[in-house]
Structure formats: structure tokens, C-alpha cells
Amino acid sequence: MRIITYNVNGIRAALAKGLGAWLEAAHPDVLCLQEIKASAEDFPIDLFHSLGYQVHLFPAEKRGYSGTAILTQKSPTSVVRGMGNQEFDREGRVIQVHFGALVIMNVYFPSGSAGAHRQESKFRFLDAFLVFAQDAAHSHPHLVTCGDFNICHKAIDIHDPVGNKNSSGFLPEERAWMDKYFSSGFVDVFRMFYPDTPHQYTWWSYRANARKKNKGWRIDYITVTEVLASRARACRILSEAQHSDHCPVLMELDW
């Protein structure tokens, strides 16, 4: 099973940059999208149907903002939207598809870069999501959680750890949360395969030619429960895909 996570920073903008042709070539079994920035009425469902995908949407109530979607080649046994928290469910941040015992959770963490009020919202999300993820893993031991976490875990995951030590996305409190998340039974699949490989990023600012210079951040993750980790066969950052300020991450899972 090939699972890809991708923050597209607007589904229509990404399609205008060739996302459809890329998807046809990449052909994952499951594609988890974040920041779709489209309502159900605006999302190009027919296009993805023509490429062989079912579309499961969880858009934000606010038009042109946030939102998640999961595209699947096969029908899931169930789809679960939200995490029972109105503040964040209004923003369409968490959606799950179940394939029997296997559960794939797609999540878009808030960004705190817009100011103190958004950082406080992000901290509330972190508290709520940790409990939700732990409960989900307890109920569904074969759990994949992927998406844009909007946090770099360690210094190796960011191009300038010293200069960004006070930046949202690399704050000590956020990194401590990642420690807590991974110590509670979740595995960072990319680092499982590449524990010491530097300069591996999934997001670059549009400013100062950052992507060309590879001055980036690794904030997009695929994580699995410890019981599922032995089934992961590969994990790669697909930096050649350039339909967004992010790039996709791929995991191959023996399922």
C-alpha cells in the first residue's frame, strides 16, 4: 500500500501547477491532502473520480481556508470526520478512513505564525490532539497518522535551528510536545529509515529563493503505531513535486 501525504496549499492552485498529471503518475493507493482551501461545492471531485479515486472531504466552514481530504482507490469501511472538538472541527483539521483493522488519519495542525492568538490556539490543538490520537491508537492499534504537523521536531529537521529557536513551529514547547507524542507509542517513519540524514525538508518559504537554496523545514510527517512499524517498507520525501510550498511524503506499507 502506497500512502502519500501532501499539503497542497489550495487544491485549485495545485491543480493549475500540474497536480493532476503528477497524481496520475504517482498513483498512490491513498492520498491525504491538507489545506485544500475549498468547500465541497468547489472541490474538483469529478477530476479525481476520472483518475480512479473516491474523494472523502472535510472542508472548513470558512471558505478558502484550511480543510482536509483523503483520496482512496478502494472504498473504506468507514470515514470519520473531526475529533469531537468544535473549535478545530470547524476548521476541518482531522479526517480518518478505516480499511477494516487499518486506520489512516489525516491531520492538519494549526500554524501559530500569524500571532499570539493563533499560537495559543495551536497549543490548545496540541493538547486535544494528543489525547485524541492516543485514544485512537488504543482503539485501532494499526493506525497511520499523517499530515502537516507544522512543527520541526529536532535541529536536524530545520535549516537554521539557532536562528529559528523562537519561531513558531520550532518553539521548545512544540518540540517537547513532539517528544511526548513519539514517546507515547508513535513512530516517525522517515526517521526510522533515515535517522541521521540532514537537509531533508518538506516545506520552504516562498521568500528569498528558499526552496532553490534548500533552506527548509521538515514539518510533514507519516507516523505509525509501534505495532505497525515493522510493516513499513519505505518512506521518501518527494521534493521534486512542486505544486505547493510543501512537498509530498510517501510511505510504502506491507498490508
Residues with active-site annotation:
148
| All three cell numbers of 152 | 520541526
Instruction: Round to whole Å and give the CA distance between 62 and 129.
Output: 21
- Sort 183 into a burial class: Cβ within 10 Å, 0-12 / 13-18 / 19+: exposed
Instruction: Round to whole Å and give the CA distance between 34 and 21.
Output: 19
Instruction: Calculate the dihedral angle through the C-alpha atoms of 119, 34, 208, 114, rounding to the nearest 10 degrees.
Output: -20
CA angle 97, 126, 176 (to 5 degrees): 120
